[in-house]
């Protein structure tokens, strides 16, 4: 191949040497390195056949070869046939099934290690990665998911036809009998679908209750029909808004729910149990020229036969506690630049305590009957990364006045 070949000297930990790529025409070298591990045997090759064989590898060797910055090739020499074969092990073990088998499969024709392999070896050298790669520290780490489990929901779904010609007309009729009706009802194909009994006021004034039907909610919750699943998610979204209606308002433009100030436009502060102790947080606070409101967006997700809701903490900004602040986008950008993972994790902990009945039982005056959320199980990984090894130095934004948590 006319490349340079260096054997390791003294103690080695899984690398027998290196091959440095050299231009055979000019003799130029450019510090392109391929490391190699060589194996030789005079016995029958494992899994030997006319065209192939395999070589078993130790798990520690695989870790060592694949975590490095330089590519590694495995060279197997068949002493009885006086032939050598090679394989780029980092590429080979990047496939999960190959890693699980801990074997390198060789093709006796395609993987011959001869001068004809020079171009392929050079291409392997070009895959070298910059930087340092280390195996994950041997430590466990608890992962916090931003999912909450839907532990209970309405058990019955009510369906009734309506002669209302539009959604607006339906709600106008309902509001004639209740100015602030609950919202867990949708119109689909000339009929109303709801978690609430449509034979009760104010619904019966806008529906034909004589033709009302009742269904087990599982017919929608566990249906494979995309239309039924879409309708069910719509009802869950409306139930979420109703569950927090006493304390929160809905931002239609950004699909978020946010805390309102206390009556009299006073700062709102809540106390909740966070991890192992009680914590306080201002969830609606007035600053000079604007209000900052704790908010969240959400999405219901079905996993198998279970439903979860994904909570994404954020903020909402108003200029008087009610009307949107036209500089809200700038305020949000500033505070997002200031917040790190622990800040967002702390916000999620607050939402988990607020939304989950078994964590914060006294948050609601009366238990909401159509949706109950519980914390999802904590996930424990058997590996982790120490924060100090990867996080950069926190930079302080030039203008953070009024936005400190």
In a domain? residue 254: yes
Whole-angstrom distance, CA of residue 223 vs CA of residue 220: 5
Residues 285 and 399 in one domain: yes
CB distance 15 to 72 below 8 Å: yes
Is 227 a member of any domain? no
Residues 389 and 134 sit within 8 Å (Cβ to Cβ): no
* 191-204: pLDDT as tens digits: 999 999 999 999 99
Q: How confident is the model at residue 391 (pLDDT cuts 50, 70, 90)?
A: low
- Based on the fold, state whether residues 142 and 173 are members of the same structural domain: no
Same domain, 354 and 368: yes
Contact 403, 187 (CB under 8 A): no
299: number of Cβ within 10 Å = 13
Residues 97 and 185 in one domain: no
Measured distance CA(139)–CA(187) in Å, rounded? 53
CB 90 within 8 A of CB 128: no
pLDDT of 364: 45
- Residue 94 resides in a domain: yes
Would 103 be classed as within a structural domain? yes
Report the C-alpha gap between 25 and 184 in whole angstroms: 78
- Structural domains of the chain, count: 3
* Residue 348: HSE in the Cβ half-sphere, 13 Å Cα cutoff: 20
Do both 170 and 55 map to the same domain? no
Contacts of 316 (CB under 8 A, 6+ apart): 251, 254, 256, 258, 292, 293, 294, 295, 328
- Is the distance from CB of 184 to CB of 243 less than 8 angstroms? no
395 — pLDDT class (breaks 50, 70, 90): very low
For 238-283, the pLDDT digits (tens) are: 999 999 999 999 999 999 999 999 999 999 999 888 777 888 999 9
Pairing of strands 29-41, 72-78: parallel
Whether 59 and 205 share a structural domain: no
- Single out the residue of 25, 104, 20, 30 nearest to residue 62, CA to CA: 104
Return all residues near 174 (Cβ < 8 A) that are at least 6 apart: 181, 202, 203, 205, 206
Give yes or no for residue 397 having a pLDDT over 80: no
Residue 201, domain member (yes or no) = yes
What is the model's pLDDT at position 402?
42
Phi then psi for residue 339, to 5 deg, are -85, 140
In a domain, 341, yes or no: yes
Same domain for 209 and 246, yes or no, is: no
Residue 380 belongs to a domain with what CATH number?
3.30.530
Q: Which of 380, 272, 290 minimizes the C-alpha distance to 326?
A: 290
Q: Is residue 133 part of a domain?
A: no
How many whole angstroms separate alpha carbon 126 and alpha carbon 90? 13
Cα 98 from Cα 186, distance rounded (Å): 51
Q: Are 18 and 112 contained in the same domain?
A: yes
The reported pLDDT for the residue numbered 78 is: 95
Adjacent-strand bridge partners of 29: 22
109 pLDDT band, cuts 50/70/90, is: very high
The verdict on 117 and 163 lying in the same domain is no
Q: What is the pTM of this model?
A: 0.63
Q: DSSP labels for 182-215?
A: ---EEEETTEEEESS-TTSTTGGGTS-GGG-EEE
The two tokens of residue 31 are 């510090």
41's CB contacts (< 8 A; 6+ apart) are 76, 77, 78, 79
Contact of 32 with 126, CB cutoff 8 Å: yes
Domain range for residue 288?
Answer: 138-152+239-405
| Max CA pair span of the chain | 95
- Whether 231 is covered by a domain: the verdict is no
For the stretch 122-165, pLDDT in tens is 999 888 765 444 455 567 788 888 999 999 999 999 999 999 99
Per the CB < 8 A criterion, the answer to whether 323 and 316 are in contact is no
Same domain, yes or no: 160 and 143:
no
Q: Are residues 166 and 252 in the same domain?
A: no
Cα 124 from Cα 75, distance rounded (Å): 14
Euclidean distance between CA atoms 291 and 320, whole angstroms:
7
CA 54 – CA 46 distance, rounded (Å): 6
Higher pLDDT, 378 or 355: 355
Within this chain, do residues 110 and 147 fall inside the same structural domain, yes or no?
no
| Three-state secondary-structure class, residue 139 | coil
Residue 390 pLDDT exceeds 80: no
């Amino acid at each position: 191949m006319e490349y340079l070949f260096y054997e390791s000297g003294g103690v080695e930990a899984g690398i027998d040497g290196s091959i440095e790529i050299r231009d055979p025409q000019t003799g130029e070298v450019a510090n392109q390195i391929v490391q190699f591990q060589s194996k030789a045997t005079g016995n029958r090759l494992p899994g030997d056949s006319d065209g192939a064989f395999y070589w078993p590898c130790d798990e520690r060797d695989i870790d060592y070869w694949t975590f490095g910055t330089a590519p590694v090739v495995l060279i197997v020499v068949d002493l009885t046939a006086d032939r050598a074969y090679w394989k780029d092990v980092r590429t080979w073990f990047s496939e999960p099934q190959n890693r699980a088998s801990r074997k390198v499969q060789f093709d006796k024709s395609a993987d011959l290690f001869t001068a004809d392999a020079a171009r392929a070896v050079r291409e392997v050298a070009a895959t070298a990665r910059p930087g340092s790669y280390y195996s994950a520290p041997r430590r466990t780490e608890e992962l916090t998911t931003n999912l909450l489990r839907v532990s209970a929901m309405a058990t019955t779904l009510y369906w009734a036809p309506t002669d209302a010609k539009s959604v607006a007309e339906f709600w106008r009729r309902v509001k004639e009998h209740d100015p602030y009706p609950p919202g867990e009802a949708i119109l689909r194909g000339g009929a109303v679908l709801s978690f609430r009994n449509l034979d009760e006021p104010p619904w019966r004034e806008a529906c034909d209750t004589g033709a009302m039907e009742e269904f087990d909610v599982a017919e929608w919750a566990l249906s494979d029909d995309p239309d039924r699943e879409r309708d069910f998610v719509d009802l869950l979204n409306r139930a979420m808004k109703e569950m927090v209606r006493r304390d929160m308002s809905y931002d239609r433009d950004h699909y978020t729910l946010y805390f309102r100030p206390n009556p009299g436009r006073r700062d709102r502060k809540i106390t909740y149990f966070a991890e192992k102790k009680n914590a306080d947080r201002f969830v609606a606070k007035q600053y000079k020229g604007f209000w900052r409101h704790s908010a969240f967006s959400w999405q219901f997700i079905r996993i198998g036969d279970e439903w979860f809701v994904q909570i994404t903490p954020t903020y909402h900004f108003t200029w008087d506690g009610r009307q949107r602040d036209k500089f809200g986008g700038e305020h949000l950008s500033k505070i997002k630049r200031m917040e790190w993972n622990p800040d967002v994790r702390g916000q999620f902990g607050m939402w988990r305590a607020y939304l989950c009945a078994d964590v914060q039982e006294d948050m609601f005056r009366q238990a909401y009957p159509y949706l109950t959320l519980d914390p999802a199980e904590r996930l424990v990984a058997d590996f982790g990364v120490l924060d100090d090894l990867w996080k950069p130095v926190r930079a302080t934004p030039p203008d953070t006045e009024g936005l400190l948590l």
